[in-house]
Amino acid sequence: MGKGLGDKLVLAISSRALFDLSESHQIYESEGVEAYRRYQIEHEDEVLMPGDAFPLVEKLLGLNTRLSEQRVEVILVSRNSADTGLRAFNSIQHYGLGISRAAFVGGRSPDPYLAAFGCHLFLSTHADDVRNALKAGFGAATLLSGGARRANSNELRIAFDGDAVLFSDDSERVYQSGGLNAFQDHEREAARQALPGGPFKPFLAALHALQQEFPEAECPIRTALVTARSAPAHERVIRTLREWNIRLDESFFLGGLDKSAVLEAFAADVFFDDQTGHCEKARQVVATGHVPHGVSNELVP
């Protein structure tokens, strides 16, 4: 990971994740690039409505105000050209978002530039760009529309799945190849061996570092693990986080139960999971990012 912005938490986000560009994207899909370009220029003074990631971005940037220094950086990373991206920047200024840096890559995948900014997380609605970012070693998720937005609270709440998100997919491979009993036996035997980190470990570590800058009783960031694991597979997770010296505020070992009710009760601003089935259910109650990583997302040739 690059060190372009020092020790800040760095989020790269696409314009379609930050703002509602559904109307102009429909023009792009049906009429092509030139019609899209004309539309954006003709409407560049019209403010875009917030997109699914807008509340998350607003709360992340709000941490800078609370800390009286810029510890979070959000970078607009777009397939647009600067010409067609002007509308997004105008909307950023309208909402008073503290976003000053951008990369407009003219129709290409932005993943080669994530390292230059030292990104911890990339959010997009373009699944191929997300896959490319994950292959390059960055935490990344495809933001799914439909989730409820929790903008009426200043507390930032982020929930994570475990295997193939915070942790590697090694244990998930055991489960898928050998079944539940083989998985439970494997995790029981390996309980004192730390799990390898997954693509979201650096982002969680950066969040945890921010949490340490607040008094515990006043911390505006709350994190949760929401996993299908249950006892005895819980022990390895707990010991792994202890070895990483990372604290999660809440942990839910659901043993295969539907995660949606817990996520709704936790009131997550966003939830990250690698399995599409979990994501489709979760998106009905919270903003959800699909992490197309690991054995559950391997593309069949």
Residue-wise pLDDT for 168-209, tens only, equals 999 888 888 888 888 888 888 989 999 999 999 999 999 999
Architecture of domain 9-142 in this structure: 3-Layer(aba) Sandwich (3.40)
The pLDDT value given to residue 143? 95
Residues 61-79, mean pLDDT to the nearest whole number:
94
Q: What percent of the chain stands above pLDDT 70?
A: 95
Q: What percent of the chain stands above pLDDT 90?
A: 66
Fold entry, domain 156-297:
Rossmann fold (3.40.50)
Annotated catalytic residue 161: yes
- pLDDT band of residue 2 (cuts 50, 70, 90) is very low
pLDDT, tens digit (0-9, with 9 covering 90-100), for 199-234: 999 999 999 999 999 998 899 999 999 998 888 889
- pLDDT band of residue 148 (cuts 50, 70, 90) is low
Does the pLDDT at position 108 exceed 50? yes
Does the pLDDT at position 261 exceed 80? yes
DSSP state of 216: G
Q: What is the rounded distance in angstroms from the CA atom of residue 128 to the CA atom of residue 106?
A: 16
Residues 150-156, mean pLDDT to the nearest whole number:
74
Task: Provide the residue type at 50 as one letter.
Answer: P
Name the nearest CA neighbour of 128 among 268, 287, 243, 290: 290
Q: Which of 52, 161, 273, 274 is catalytic?
A: 161
For the CA atoms of the chain, what is the radius of gyration?
A: 19
Tell me the average pLDDT of the chain: 90
HSE (side-chain half, CA atoms, 13 Å) at 70: 9
Domain extent listing, the chain: 9-142, 156-297
Does the pLDDT at position 3 exceed 70? no
User: Please, what's the b/e burial string for 98-137 (b: 16 or more CB within 10 A of its CB; e: otherwise)?
Assistant: bbeebbbbeeebbbebbeebbbbbbbbbbeebbbbbbebe
- pLDDT band of residue 54 (cuts 50, 70, 90) is very high
Does the pLDDT at position 30 exceed 90? no
HSE (side-chain half, CA atoms, 13 Å) at 287: 24
Higher pLDDT, 6 or 256: 256
In CATH terms, are 9-142 and 156-297 the same topology?
yes
